[in-house]
Amino acid sequence: MRQIDATAITEAVKELAMAANYQLGEDVIAALRRGAEEEESPAGREIFRQLLENARIASKERYPLCQDCGLTVVFAELGQEVHIVGGDFTEAIQEGVRQGYAQGYLRKSLCHPLTRQNTGDNTPAVVHTEIVPGDRLKLTVVPKGGGSENMSRVFMLKPAQGWPGIKEAVVTTVREAGPNPCPPVIVGVGIGGTLEQAALLAKKALLRELGRPNPDPQLAGLEAELLQAVNDLGIGPQGLGGRFTALEVHLLIQPCHIASLPVGVNLQCHAARHKETVL
C-alpha cells in the first residue's frame, strides 16, 4: 500500500485551481492562434487577438482568464493500492478548492439552488472519483463556467434516430446556444450509457487535448463531420458571425440499453480551463 497524505491532496488541488484559472493550455492557445489567422470575419479575427492577449496577461499577471472562475469539477483517478492517511479524501479536495479560490483571488460563484445564498468559498466542488489499478492518484481540476454549462443539453433519443438524430442534437444545441457560451467553443459529445453517463462522457470528452485526433479513426471521422456541421452555422467568435463557431468536437461513446440512445452535449467556452497532476 502506498500512502498519500490528505494534506498533499489539498495542496495539489489548491495549486491546480489557481493554475487552471490563470494559465490557458498551450493546446488552446495554439487553436486560438490558428483562428486569428484563418477566421474570415475581421471582427472574429479581432476577438481571437483579444483572447490571445487575454491569455498572455492572465498568465503573466496572475489574473483569472475570466471573472467567472467556474464551479470546480474535480476528476480523481484513485489507484486501488493507495491508502489515504491524515484526513478525509473528499474533504481534502474541498479544502483545496476553498484555499485555491481564497488565496488565488478567484471569484466564488456557488450558491444554494433555492435561496441563491452564496456558499462563500466556491465549495462544494463536484467530484468524480474512479478507482483504477495502480498506486497513484491523478487529479484533474476543471473550473467550469456558467455561461457554457447553461447551454449544454442531454437528449434521450430513440435508437431509430441514429446518427442523423445525434448530429441534429449537437447542431441544435450549438445553434440555440448562439453567442451565450462565449464561442469559439469546444463541443464535448457523450453517446451511450444512461442519462447521467452520457453527460459525464460529454464532460470527459472536453478534457482531451486540442489538436490530438481521436484515437479511434471512425470516431475521428464523425468528429470532423460534426465540426463541419457546427461551423456551417456561421455563429463565429462571440456569435458575431464567422467560420470558427467551434474549435473542435470531441466524442466519447459507450454501450447503452437496447431501447435507448442517450446523447450528452457539453459546451465548453474558449476559456477551456483544466489542469492535472499525478501524486
Partner 1 sequence: MSKTVKLVPPLTDEEVTALEMGDQVLISGVLYTARDAAHQRLVDLLAAGRELPVDLSGQILYYVGPSPARPGRVIGAAGPTTASRMDTYTPALLAVGLKAMIGKGKRSPEVIAALVQYKAVYLGATGGAGALLAQRIKKAEVVAFPELGPEAVHRLEVEDFPAIVVNDCLGRDLYEEGVRRFARSAGVTR
Q: 12, 32, 66, 222: which one contacts ligand SF4 (CB under 6 A)?
A: 66
Cβ count near 2 (within 10 Å):
12
Cβ count near 279 (within 10 Å):
16
* Residue 270 engages partner 1 in binding (rule: CB under 8 A): yes
* Residue 229 engages partner 1 in binding (rule: CB under 8 A): yes
Residues numbered 127 to 186 that lie near ligand SF4 (CB under 6 A) are 145-148, 181-182
Place of cell 484559472: 21
* Residue 149 engages partner 1 in binding (rule: CB under 8 A): no
> Which of 109, 104, 106 lies closest to 123, judged by CA?
109
Handedness of CA 109, 208, 192, 140 (dihedral sign): negative
Site string for partner 1, 159-188 (x = CB under 8 A): --------xx--xx--x--xxx-x------
CB nearer to partner 1: give 50 or 277: 50
Q: 15, 68, 95, 248: which one contacts ligand SF4 (CB under 6 A)?
A: 68
- Report the distance separating Cα 201 and Cα 190, nearest Å: 5
- Report the distance separating Cα 4 and Cα 77, nearest Å: 13
* Cα atoms found within 13 Å of the Cα of residue 201, Cβ hemisphere only: 23
List of residues contacting partner 1 (CB under 8 A): 40-41, 43, 46-47, 50-51, 53-55, 57-58, 61-69, 105-107, 145, 147, 167-168, 171-172, 175, 178-180, 182, 229, 232-236, 238-243, 269-271
List of residues contacting ligand SF4 (CB under 6 A): 66, 68, 145-148, 181-182, 269, 271
